[in-house]
Amino acid sequence: MGAGATILGLAGPRLTRAEREFFAAADPWAFILFARNLEDPDQIRWLTTELRESVGREAPIFIDQEGGRVARLRPPVWRDWLPALEQVKLNPRKAVDTMRLRYRIIAHELRALGIDGNCAPVVDLVQPDTHEILKNRCYGNDVVRVSDIAGAVAEGLVMGGVLPVIKHIPGHGRATADSHLELPVVTTKEKALRVSDFLAFQSVAGLPLAMTAHVVYRDIDPENPATTSSRMIGIIRETIGFDGLLMTDDLSMKALTGSFAERTEASLGAGCDIVLHCNGDMAEMAPIVEAAGRLTGRAAERAEEALTWRREPVDVDIGALDAEFRDLMTHRSG
């Protein structure tokens, strides 16, 4: 039987006895870390080791390290980065190269800590009214350009031994609300979405993992956000062509309603493979774990296929990559 159909967080920088026992029983497929879990390199390396020991295998450990606003690892220990949209605009002709370098360097920092998954690239297309929670995390609004940059981001991560997670499929850029706090509703017609937002994801659909958007696309399914919509997940699988491991965005976000068991059942019932819960609250995680059960069938196969992308980093001179990145950002071209 496969691991649990869950990706779980923990409360603090050290694994408590209760958490260790809980994870041993729940056997989540992977873990995710946040700023509350991170103090210094030695502590993080010990924590990632303990998490894997709790489930008795080399479970993936994810983080949101986009750089810019969404960066769980920050100076002075780790590098600081501009928001992605700002970096792209500073040197647009070299954006693909600079973003590939950026994420290769980020991957190097993550692997040194025992972290081997990063929730990036962000493939959402920015719009004039994109909510501020997302806006400067995007790479632009041109489908081809965003697709090229997203591919480069994924390449940088994979070369550094880190699993990429594309988000937020099938597209969060048209949302004018923050899904952490409420349910966004997109009113754009399906025909327009197919040649814009959905199209951007098609070029990276061969990547191993993706995270859903807690967004209602009214023209397609007026009742349910993509995470719990079989119609929307049908579009993700068939129109976009993504056949990798599909994880939910965080089940504790207020865009979703119902009990945590109901959220879990609705997500998996709609076609997600695995559910994500981030805040480390065991009282919330317990019913999720029970409702999620184990990875079986095609979901288990996708999970195994995703792990085949995890490899030893390509040997590089990080100092030289840093210098190359700085040179590209200094000698800008329009």
Catalytic residue among 40, 80, 180, 327: 180
Residues of the chain with pLDDT under 50: none
How many separate domains does the chain show?
1
Residues making up the chain, counted from first to last: 334
Instruction: Note down the domain range covering 74.
Output: 4-330
Determine the pLDDT at residue 334: 52
**CA dist., res. 208 & res. 310, Å (int):** 10
pTM for this prediction: 0.96
Give the pLDDT score at 311.
92
Q: What is the model's pLDDT at position 178?
A: 83
Active site includes 180?
yes
At residue 331, the pLDDT reads 76
Q: Are 273 and 244 in contact (CB under 8 A)?
A: no
CATH number of domain containing 156: 3.20.20.300
Instruction: Tell me the three state secondary structure of residue 168.
Output: strand
**pLDDT tens, position by position, 46-58:** 999 999 999 999 9
Under 8 Å between Cβ of 102 and 328: no
Q: List the catalytic residue out of 116, 249, 250, 273.
A: 249
Residue 32 DSSP SS3:
strand
